Structure 1
Amino acid sequence: MSLTVVAAVTANGVIGRDNGMPWHLPEDLKRFRALTMGRPMVMGRRTFDSIGRPLPGRRTVVVTRDASWHHDGVEVVRSPAAALELLAGLDVVLAGGGELYRQLWDDVDVLEITHIDREIDGDTRLPPIDPDRWVETARDDRDGFSFVSYRRR
């Protein structure tokens, strides 16, 4: 199994505010689509609710402790471990949010990060990308942001 995080993060570590993204970067959304198309995605319930629907062309697994929660077109599991077990042997994208990133951070193999070159207030953060644990393998600098790939050391 390979586990890849695809996320956008500000200079101060923010990935979200009020269950949404406090920015709009069409190029980041296009990159997210390209990196996730055809791959199974795992996300927390709040992240799914912020999107509001399953994304076309991607198997979606939602992690929630709420036994009554369900949504057509997605698979529901009760824990991150259950999601990994369900998708064993596959190339999986971890699509958020912050709590799920924290719980699975030590299992992640690849980071596909859009670094936004400004600080934005928010209530959800990405775990730190420790250079002792991650090596940058590709970078594409743009106006105000960069697409950066990392591999675990």
Structure 2
Amino acid sequence: MPLPADAIKPWKAIVAMADKNRAIGLNGGLPWRLPEDLAFFKQMTTGHTVVMGRKTMDEIKKPLPRRLNVVLTNQQDLVAPGFTIAHTLADLDEVAVKGDLFIIGGAQLFAVTLPQCCELFLTHVKGDYDGDTFLPPFEHLFSAVETLRENDDLRIVRYRNKALPA
């Protein structure tokens, strides 16, 4: 069930998902190599704040350049040079956000933050890809607003939280 409009944060989520099975990850990485999707991610997030879970941080290994990198984790003793550490969603309100705040994964973080995000930028990956990490259902929370790009490999769609006034 969508949250009331006043509970929606100015957060945006950005993720790529295999249309056939909702896969977003495989063996700690992406199940595909799509340069156009990576370029879109870079274009959208550069100069902004990216928030990730600890497993996603472990996957990318070092902070993404020209972005404020925030890790949301329960691990109290985490040492991660170049990353800002937050332990609760409420801690995100205390972060001095640079530009927009983008939730970038993984699945656990999407599960708890998508209901509060105002927008979702979703790359629908065409084709059949295996995965071991999957995007939780979001369709009951968001409406498609526009298709930003499309080709034989992918379709990038901007979604808006249904709880927000039209």
Alpha carbons 2:15, 2:121 under 8 Å: kept: yes
Partner SS state of residue 147, structure 1: strand
Instruction: Say which of 1, 24, 45 aligns to 1:36.
Output: 45
Counterparts of 1:3-152 in structure 2, within 5 Å, are 3-11=11-19, 12-87=21-96, 91-130=100-139, 132-139=140-147, 140-152=149-161
Tell me by how many angstroms 1:87 deviates. 4.9
Change (3 A) 1:4 1:75: same
RMSD over aligned Cα, in angstroms? 1.8
Given that residues 51 and 71 in structure 2 are in contact (C-alpha distance below 8 angstroms), is that contact kept between their aligned partners in structure 1?
A: yes
**1:39 and 1:91 in contact (8 A); partners too:** yes
Q: CA deviation at 1:89?
A: 9.8
Could you tell me the percent identity over the aligned residues? Answer: 33
**Structure 2 regions of 5+ residues with no counterpart?**
1-8
Q: Does 43-52 or 135-144 show the bigger shift?
A: 135-144
Would you say how many aligned residue pairs link Structure 1 and Structure 2? Answer: 152
TM, length-normalised to structure 1: 0.91
Q: Deviations over 1:8-28 (max 9, x none)?
A: 000111101122111111111
Q: Deviations over 1:71-115 (max 9, x none)?
A: 111111112332244257962100100000001121011011110
SS state of the match for residue 11, structure 2? Answer: strand
Structure 1: which 5+ residue stretches go unaligned? none
Q: Is the 8 A contact 1:105 1:127 kept in 2?
A: no
Q: Give the TM-score taking structure 2 as reference length.
A: 0.84
